[in-house]
Amino acid sequence: MARQSNDTWNLATSVGATATMAAAGRATASRSDGGVVNDPFAEPLVRAVGIDFFSRLASGDLDFADVGTGWLTDFFAVRARYFDDFLTNAWQAGVRQAVNVASGLDSRAYRLGWPAGSILYEIDRPEVIDFKSATLTTLDAVPTTVLRPVMTDLREDWRAALRAAGFDPAQPTAWLLEGLLIGYLPTDAQDHLLNDITELSAPGSRFAADYVLPTSEFGSDMRTVANTWREHGLDVDLSSLFFEGQRTDVANHLQSQGWESHKSRLRELYNDAGIDGAAFDLVYDETAAITYVTATRRHS
Ligand code: SAM
């Protein structure tokens, strides 16, 4: 079913299921030899959601290669590593306040070694945050930073919810948007989000995201993947989750709004993670045109 501007979901439906998919990817990547990412919470979180296809992937009963998408294990590994490194660099620059925008089943609050004095805000819909918190509690997982959940919808006034949770716009912030700006927000909501983040960003703030270029074929490529998975037993429709329309080039937009931005392609992420990109099918880097951006808010 096509997306609606006011639609809702949980972790087993609609765009919520993509958070379960991403966590299944991290579970798979955590089992592979490279040691690029280690997310011990991904598998139990995915299994708790209960989408059989993703549970089997997360537990290793099924491999991405068995369902025609073997490239995804390394893709999810290097993507997670890129955002892990982004946070490490922000901490090294002295940033102590972070916001994970559309945090899904991300477990960085639990699996990374956060510096003393750090605080992390996680924004997602209430159904997603409630489920993750409850499941991690049953696993006796303990956050390694001060963790403040912000249950809201990014198409609404999320800034008020963030500030009500204690966010301090006077402090530099590390903003992390992993797997969101790839079509999951309406185009105008995405632009508003970037502008709102800019307004809330003190000088020295950091930003990292993956996004699709205005000309990207990512939506149609992901529809192909989703349909292949359906043939292999996935009973959730992931093929029609993207809002259509011309999108801003995120890196260029930030650059024009007082940020110093830097774009990377998937091939560079493989190299940085020490994985020989040439050995893998990087066709999606070229055709889907996912771009990765980090940015730092200028001082003047
Ligand atoms: N960042 C996480 C990761 O990489 O594992 C989750 C990414 S998942 C692909 C997309 C996430 O975006 C989901 O958790 C979904 O709930 C969230 N999301 C999408 N649209 C949203 C909205 N309008 N408001 C709040 N969250 C939203």
Does the CB atom of residue 62 touch ligand 1 within 6 A? no
For residue range 152-183, list pLDDT tens digits in order.
Answer: 999 999 999 999 999 999 999 999 999 999 88
CA 122, CA 230: separation in Å to the nearest integer? 31
DSSP code, position 39: -
Task: List the one residue out of 252, 250, 154, 155 whose CA is nearest residue 208.
Answer: 250
Task: List the one residue out of 13, 83, 84 whose CA is nearest residue 54.
Answer: 13
Task: List the one residue out of 249, 104, 251, 110 whose CA is nearest residue 179.
Answer: 104
Query: Could you tell me where the DSSP H helices lie in the chain?
Result: 16-31, 42-49, 52-59, 72-92, 108-111, 126-138, 158-164, 187-199, 218-231, 250-256, 266-272, 283-287
CA 257 to ligand 1 centroid distance, Å:
24
CA 102 to ligand 1 centroid distance, Å:
4
From 125, 129, 196, 210, the mutation candidate for ligand 1 (largest count of ligand atoms within 8 A of CB) is 125
Q: Write the residue with the smallest CA distance to atom 19 of ligand 1.
A: 184
DSSP code, position 61: S
Those residues whose C-beta lies under 8 Å from the C-beta of residue 35, and which sit 6 or more positions away, are none
For residue range 5-18, list pLDDT tens digits in order.
Answer: 888 889 999 899 99
8 Å CB contact between 107 and 42 = yes
For residue 290, the SS3 value is strand
Count, in order, helices (H) and strands (E) of the chain: 12, 7
CA 123 to ligand 1 centroid distance, Å:
9
| pLDDT for position 284 | 56
Does the CB atom of residue 44 touch ligand 1 within 6 A? no
CA 278 to ligand 1 centroid distance, Å:
30
From 20, 103, 124, the mutation candidate for ligand 1 (largest count of ligand atoms within 8 A of CB) is 124
For residues 242-264, give the mean pLDDT: 93
Does the CB atom of residue 213 touch ligand 1 within 6 A? no
For residue range 100-153, list pLDDT tens digits in order.
Answer: 999 999 999 999 999 999 999 999 999 999 999 999 999 999 999 999 999 999
CA dihedral 197, 93, 40, 109 (to 10 degrees): -50
Those residues whose C-beta lies under 8 Å from the C-beta of residue 14, and which sit 6 or more positions away, are 3, 7, 8, 241
8 Å CB contact between 190 and 155 = no
Name the pTM for this structure: 0.96
Residue 9 alpha carbon, nearest atom of ligand 1:
16
